[in-house]
């Protein structure tokens, strides 16, 4: 009897070990995929730094230094299909920052206020309705948001604000905000919920109102988590492609005006990579942009996730 039981155990152990191996292999596949993509992108971007024939047309100097020209817009130009190709990344970086800033300025107050409301004030029934609704927003494909912005939002906003150009940084940023709200909301809400109840109870017991408790106790306690939500939102905004491709006008203008059309880094890759001559300087510049985006979003997301972990750890371990 004991021997039989041991045989059973051995069989179970064997199945267990194999299941563990298969799951390990699958999870390693995910890591291997990321590493391979990383290697591929950087290998294709490398000639910008190393290959002299590519560098004649597109070296770091071409990508970042000003060219001769009377005004800002003509000193930094992105005109890759031209007799003398111009590969300045400055208008693209500026465009990306402009749309990202607008998107964060719109999305952050809305999402954080919504998170504060659902976690501190809303009755359970309303919370159960708001939370899934906002999270549903994350499920809308970005191409649909982009199309909505291109056809509907752009016209509304032009009529409302009287923009000279219909598609511009503000329109694209507003559309982008729709994609950021669920990210910022979800992470902020988690951060607010992670604040221990003892803090709220202590505050209320000392005679503070719910509003005072929410704004002066809970919100500061959750602030690192809320900061992390903004960082993750920033990462998404920088890398988001389809919405800005459709709603930004895609004109690479170097200017500080938010009512001008903009062209972002991600949209440039999406628009041009399909047609570029394989192995040309233009091709390698596009991969260089890809590597740049990869590094920026990687750092930003890592920082965001690191902060979230630290906050959770701290709140769990007490203050």
Q: Minimum distance from CB of 258 to another protein (Å)? A: 15
User: Is position 32 an interface residue for another protein (rule: CB under 8 A)?
Assistant: yes
User: Is position 73 an interface residue for another protein (rule: CB under 8 A)?
Assistant: yes
User: Is position 165 an interface residue for another protein (rule: CB under 8 A)?
Assistant: yes
The Cα diameter of the chain in Å comes to: 94
User: Is position 164 an interface residue for another protein (rule: CB under 8 A)?
Assistant: yes
Of residues 74-113, those binding another protein (CB under 8 A):
74, 77, 79-83, 86, 91
User: Is position 155 an interface residue for another protein (rule: CB under 8 A)?
Assistant: yes
User: Is position 38 an interface residue for another protein (rule: CB under 8 A)?
Assistant: no
Q: Minimum distance from CB of 36 to another protein (Å)? A: 6
- Dihedral sign for Cα 24, 27, 33, 34, please: negative
Which one among 15, 67, 126, 151 touches another protein, defined by CB under 8 A? 151
User: Is position 272 an interface residue for another protein (rule: CB under 8 A)?
Assistant: yes
Q: What is the CA radius of gyration of the chain?
A: 25
Name the one residue in this structure whose structure tokens are 């976690």. 119
Which one among 13, 36, 136, 140 touches another protein, defined by CB under 8 A? 36
User: Is position 15 an interface residue for another protein (rule: CB under 8 A)?
Assistant: no
Neighbours of 62 (CB within 10 A): 19
What is the Cα–Cα distance from 232 to 308, expressed in whole angstroms? 10
Residue 152, classed as helix, strand or coil, is: helix
User: Is position 56 an interface residue for another protein (rule: CB under 8 A)?
Assistant: no
Name the one residue in this structure whose structure tokens are 């202590």. 202
231 token code pair: 């960082």
Buried b (16+ CB within 10 A) or exposed e, 253-277: bbbeebebbbbbbbbbbbebeeebe
Interacting residues toward another protein by CB under 8 A: 21, 24-25, 28-29, 32-33, 36, 73-74, 77, 79-83, 86, 91, 150-151, 154-155, 164-167, 245-246, 249-254, 260-261, 263, 271-272, 274-278
């Amino acid at each position: 009897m004991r021997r039989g039981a041991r045989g059973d155990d051995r069989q179970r152990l064997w199945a267990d070990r194999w299941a563990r191996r298969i799951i390990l292999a699958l999870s390693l596949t995910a890591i291997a995929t990321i590493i391979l993509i990383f290697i591929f992108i950087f290998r294709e971007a490398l000639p910008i730094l190393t290959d002299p024939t590519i560098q004649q047309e597109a070296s770091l100097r071409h990508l970042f230094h000003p060219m001769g020209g009377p005004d800002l817009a003509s000193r930094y130009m992105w005109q890759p299909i031209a007799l003398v190709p111009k590969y300045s990344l400055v208008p693209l970086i500026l465009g990306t920052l402009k749309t990202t800033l607008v998107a964060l300025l719109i999305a952050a107050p809305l999402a954080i206020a919504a998170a504060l409301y659902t976690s501190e004030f809303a009755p359970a029934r309303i919370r159960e309705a708001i939370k899934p609704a906002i999270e549903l927003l994350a499920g809308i494909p970005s191409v649909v948001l982009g199309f909505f912005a291109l056809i509907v939002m752009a016209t509304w906003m032009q009529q409302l604000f009287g923009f000279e150009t219909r598609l511009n940084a503000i329109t694209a940023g507003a559309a982008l905000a729709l994609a950021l709200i669920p990210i910022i909301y979800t992470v902020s809400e988690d951060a607010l919920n992670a604040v221990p109840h003892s803090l709220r109870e202590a505050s209320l017991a000392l005679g503070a109102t719910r509003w005072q408790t929410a704004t002066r106790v809970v919100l500061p306690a959750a602030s690192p988590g809320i900061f992390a939500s903004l960082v993750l939102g920033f990462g998404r905004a920088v890398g988001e492609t389809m919405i800005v491709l459709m709603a930004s006008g895609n004109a690479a203008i170097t200017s500080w005006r938010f009512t001008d059309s903009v062209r972002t880094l991600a949209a440039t890759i999406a628009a041009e990579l399909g047609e570029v001559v394989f192995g040309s300087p233009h091709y390698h510049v596009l991969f260089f942009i890809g590597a740049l985006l990869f590094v920026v979003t990687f750092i930003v997301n890592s920082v965001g996730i690191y902060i979230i972990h630290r906050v959770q750890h701290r709140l769990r371990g007490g203050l």
